[in-house]
Amino acid sequence: MQEFKERVPLLQVIGLEKHFTTQAKGLFKKNTVRAVNQVSFEVYEGETLGLVGESGCGKSTTGRTVLRLVEPTNGEILYNGENVTGMKLKEFNKIRKDFQMIFQDPFASFDPKKRIGYSLEEVMVIQSVGKKEERKARAIELLKKVGFSEEHYYRYPHEFSGGQRQRIGIARALMTNPKFIVCDEAVSALDVSIQSQILNLLKELQKDLGLSYLFIGHDLNVVKYISDRIAVMYMGEIIEMAPTEELFANPKHPYTKLLLAAIPVANPHKQAERPILKGDIPSPLNIPSGCPFHTRCPYATEQCSKIVPEIVHTSEEHSVKCHLFESDVTERGEN
Amino acid sequence: MEGQKLLQLHNLNVSFWTERDYLHAIHDVSFDVYKGEILGIVGESGCGKSVTADAILQLHDQQTTDYEGEINFEGLDLLKQSERDLRKIRGNQISMIFQDPMSSLNPVFTVGHQIIESLRAHKKISKKEARTRAIEILRMVGIPSPEIRIDEYPHQLSGGMRQRVMIAIAICCEPKLIIADEPTTALDVTIQSQILQVLKELQTKNDMSVIMITHDLGVVAETCQRVVVMYLGQVIEVGTVQQIFDTPLHPYTKGLLQSMPNLESNPNEPLYEIEGTVPPLNSIPIGCRFANRCPFATEECLTKNPSLENSNDSHQIRCWNYNEIGKKEGLYARV
């Protein structure tokens, strides 16, 4: 896509790392979990970047680190070209209203003792945006935008169903007029019929307000539907990134191929024998040497277990981290 | 549909006494399970899928639950059996696989202990034989080096491995019927495809019947031969997997299929939305239970509850107007 080249990324993440250290207890040694490792990506204005991978691969930690809800160990986060990693929290809080988050569990992310109106306005209060009346007007305006009416302002969270709460969660994320929203498994807890309502709403809001999303999910059908580009994570690293169509039509990394093959197809006529990814994701305490995927990769060579592959750009927008993607070994699996 | 019927549910009703209400959770549920088939039960949360499954083995609290109707298992009405006789059937002739393997395995016993316990409860075999058999079964469900794994505790195993152990416990007595209640919902897609493959293999090999409860239509298309669709405690459609996916008759089934994003969905078009939400159990609509969300609802739908009718031999439907709706296909035009 030509247009991307000229645009400045809204958010640029360079070499982001987050390591957690476990406490040394008795016999056990101190240990480091490398949850996010050398992750780099950009999010442009008005686009959705999907982040997929198995549980424990570091998707959510990446999302949280980008918002500095957890502090990164290494790396830089540039927002509109400005480095926000080194910023003091006090300073960062000033621009924080541009970043918001929609959480996975609509039941756990609202204070059950407070009215919806309070939960919505709290965001603005913390950011000290607007006067009391303005805040209320804004809350009601957004409630209407996500399909409620004024009376819902006075209700409590328990009066709403899961899907409704998720809509309120979206309204809350919009309170400060953000530019960038991290959607952390925003539709995973919802039923299919409700999920489509929320996905449509997210898309509509993006179009109206020019929002950018970092959409974290494990359901590839959903991520494909909503994302412009997709990054695939494995053991804390982005192993492949490409525009959505390109990634699904022409996956290069063996992990991506096997992940795509594992999606159940809701069509009884399109069932075929498919390659199955063997084994489990290794413990993040003990990341395999070389390419972290070599323990499960059906094509792994000796080189893979020793040398960490570099990120290779096969085209402007398609990057992959694998020693073998160019050789034809990985093609065989498809036939 | 030919074949012998293994299990017949006839007008099954299950109601619960709660602190405040008397809730009618499932209403006149009737369907058959044939020998050697995988039957899917689909529906959104709260539609009564799991209540139906648990009712077959009467796993609910007897004090607060009322059962009505007939559950006919090989000529035996399970609802008329004493607790003692039921215990001989549970885990032996009908066994269950639960959604969350972590909370269904006992954390203080080794996995071997838990398989042997089930074996020795139903079969007259020595401890040594049981252990040999347990290792054999663990190998069958695809656990590597079962001789070592048998002495491990659930926390030492990954989620996928734990679910394999659950399957091992379920099949160890060679049951005729397995009820799998969302067996892969808590797992990643890659692990899900491994588990589904194991289940399908075992089902063919041991000629078992499986009731697969899930909300994922992809899983249904991939594994099941026939499908039961439930909505708010009622069966609304029954058919072969081809009938349900190719020529669904009920507006709810159609809506469900349409609202799910799949790999072929056009990201530029909004997803189909089923309006509204599922009503709570304490305010069930008088007429057709789907009427308030149905785009085709008529006066009749709002006042009279339709019964489950045969559309043809293997396809049953609960809707007043399915014939007319079939002619208005435009609304659900396939992408």
Identify which of B139, B59, B133 has the alpha carbon closest to the alpha carbon of residue B91: B59
Distance separating alpha carbons of residues B97 and B118, to the nearest angstrom = 14
- Interchain CB contact of A164 with B (< 8 Å): yes
Domain that holds residue A257: 2-332
Q: Give backbone dihedrals phi and psi of A168, rounded to 5 degrees, phi first.
A: -65, -35
| Number of compact structural domains in chain A | 1
Asked if residue B31 belongs to a domain, the reply is no
pLDDT at B185: 83
**CB of A218 within 8 A of CB of A188?**
yes
CA A300/CA A296 separation, integer angstroms:
8
What mean pLDDT is predicted for residues A87-106? 86
pLDDT of residue B283: 85
Q: What pLDDT score was predicted for residue A331?
A: 53
Greater pLDDT, A73 or A161 = A73
- Using a CB-CB distance cutoff of 8 angstroms, which residues of chain A are in contact with residue B270? 200, 203-204
Per-residue tokens: A283: 């413990």
Residue B118 lies in a domain: yes
Q: pLDDT band at residue B2, thresholds of 50, 70 and 90? A: low
Degrees, nearest 5: CA angle A36-A37-A41: 90
- For residue A261, what is the nearest residue in chain B, using CA coordinates? B190
- Residue A89 C-alpha, separation from nearest chain B C-alpha, in angstroms: 36
Distance CA B240, CA B225 (A): 6
The residue written with tokens 């498809």 in the block is A334
Task: Tell me whether residue B209 is in a domain.
Answer: no
Give the residue ranges of DSSP H helices in A175-284. 192-209, 220-226, 244-249, 254-261
Pairing of strands B226-231, B234-240: antiparallel
| Confidence at residue A333, expressed as pLDDT on a 0 to 100 scale | 44
Is 50 exceeded by the pLDDT of residue B334?
no
Judged against a pLDDT cut of 50, whether residue A203 lies above it is answered with yes
pLDDT, greater one: A86 or B73? B73
Q: Using the 8-state DSSP alphabet, how is residue A56 labeled?
A: T
User: Does residue B200 sit within a domain?
Assistant: no
Q: Distance between CA B98 and CA B302 in Å, rounded?
A: 37
Query: Residue A332 has what pLDDT?
Result: 47
Contact pairs from chain A to chain B, CB under 8 Å:
129
Check pLDDT > 50 for residue B98. yes
B265 located within any domain: yes
> What pLDDT is attached to residue A168?
92
* Among A203, A258, A276, beta carbon nearest to B270: A203
Give the tens place of pLDDT for each residue, A134-188.
999 999 999 998 888 888 999 999 888 888 889 899 999 999 899 999 999 888 8
**What is residue A335's predicted lDDT score, i.e. its pLDDT?**
35
Q: How far is A29 from chain B (nearest CA, A)?
A: 19
- Average pLDDT score over chain B: 89
3-state secondary structure of A231: strand
Please report the pLDDT score of residue A145 as a whole number. Answer: 86
A258 to chain B, any CB pair closer than 8 A? The answer is yes
Domain boundary pick from B155, B172, B189 = B172
Nearest one of B316, B288, B319 to B303, comparing CA atoms: B288
pLDDT of the residue at A66: 92
What residues contact B249, with CB distance under 8 A and at least 6 apart?
Answer: B237, B239, B311, B315, B317, B319, B322, B325, B326
Mean pLDDT of A96-116: 88
Instruction: Kindly state whether residue B22 falls inside one of the protein's structural domains.
Output: no
Cβ neighbours of A218 in B, within 8 Å: 188-189
The stretch A231-241 carries a mean pLDDT of 94
pLDDT for B107 equals 92
- Interface membership of B271 toward A (CB under 8 Å): yes
pLDDT tens digits, one per residue of B239-295: 999 999 999 999 999 999 988 888 788 888 888 888 888 888 888 889 999 999 998
B125: amino acid identity, one letter: I
What is the spatial distance between Cα A251 and Cα A293, in angstroms, rounded to a whole number? 16
Within a domain: B160: yes
Q: Which residues pair with B10 in a beta bridge?
A: B70
Measured CA distances, B329 to A97, B249, B250, B271, B319 (Å): 46, 10, 12, 16, 16
Does the pTM surpass 0.90? The reply is no
Residue whose structure tokens are 């998707």: A59
Q: Looking at the complex, does the CB of residue B188 fall below 8 Å from at least one CB of chain A? A: yes
Q: Given phi > 0 = left and psi -120 to 50 = alpha, else beta, which region is A195?
A: alpha
Residue type present at position B10: H
Q: Is the pLDDT at A212 greater than 70, yes or no?
A: yes
Please write the tens of the pLDDT for every residue from A124-134.
898 888 899 99
Q: What is the pLDDT of residue A136?
A: 94
Write out pLDDT tens, residues A279-301.
777 877 788 889 999 999 988 89
> Could you tell me if B220 lies within 8 Å of chain A, comparing CB atoms?
yes
Residue B276 lies in a domain: yes
Distances (CA, A) of A10 to A80, A191, A211, B278: 5, 32, 10, 40
- Nearest residue on chain A to B252, alpha-carbon basis: A193
Nearest to A193 among B245, B256, B262 (CB): B256
Helix (H) or strand (E) holding B101: helix B101-104
User: How many Cα neighbours within 13 Å face the side chain of B123?
Assistant: 21
- The percentage of chain A sitting over the pLDDT mark of 70, rounded to a whole number, equals 94
> In what side-by-side order are the strands of the sheet with B76-77?
B22-34, B5-17, B65-73, B76-77
In chain B, the number of structural domains is 2
Out of B158, B197, B277, the one facing A194 most closely (by C-beta) is B277
Q: How far apart are CA B44 and CA B263, in angstroms?
A: 21
| B173 has a pLDDT exceeding 80 | yes
Instruction: Pick the last residue of a domain from B128, B156, B172.
Output: B172
Q: Is B99 helix (H, G, I), strand (E, B) or coil?
A: coil
Best mutation target among A193, A228, A295 (most B Cβ atoms within 10 Å) is A193
Residue pair A278/A254 in contact by the 8 Å Cβ criterion = no
Q: How confident is the model at residue B328 (pLDDT cuts 50, 70, 90)?
A: low
Residue B88 predicted with pLDDT over 50: yes
Helices (H) and strands (E) in chain A, counts: 12, 12
pLDDT of residue A34: 87
CATH number for position A233: 3.40.50.300
pLDDT at A329: 58
Give A243's DSSP letter.
E
User: A92: helix, coil or strand?
Assistant: helix
Q: Give the count of alpha carbons within 13 A of B25, CB side only.
A: 21
* pLDDT of amino acid B303: 92
Tabulate helix, strand, coil % of chain A (nearest 5): 35, 20, 40
Provide the residue range defining the domain that includes B319. Answer: 248-332
3-state secondary structure of B175: coil
Q: Where are the beta strands (DSSP E) in chain A?
A: 11-22, 31-43, 48-52, 74-79, 82-83, 99-102, 180-184, 212-217, 229-234, 237-243, 311-313, 319-321
C-beta separation of B67 from B12 below 8 A: yes
Final residue before a domain boundary, out of B130, B151, B172? B172
User: What pLDDT shows up at residue A28?
Assistant: 67
* Dihedral sign (CA A140, A141, A146, A150): positive
- pLDDT band of B3, cuts 50, 70, 90: confident
Question: Helix B189-206 to helix A254-261 angle, to the nearest 10 degrees?
Answer: 50
With a cut of 70, say whether residue B157 has pLDDT above it.
Answer: yes
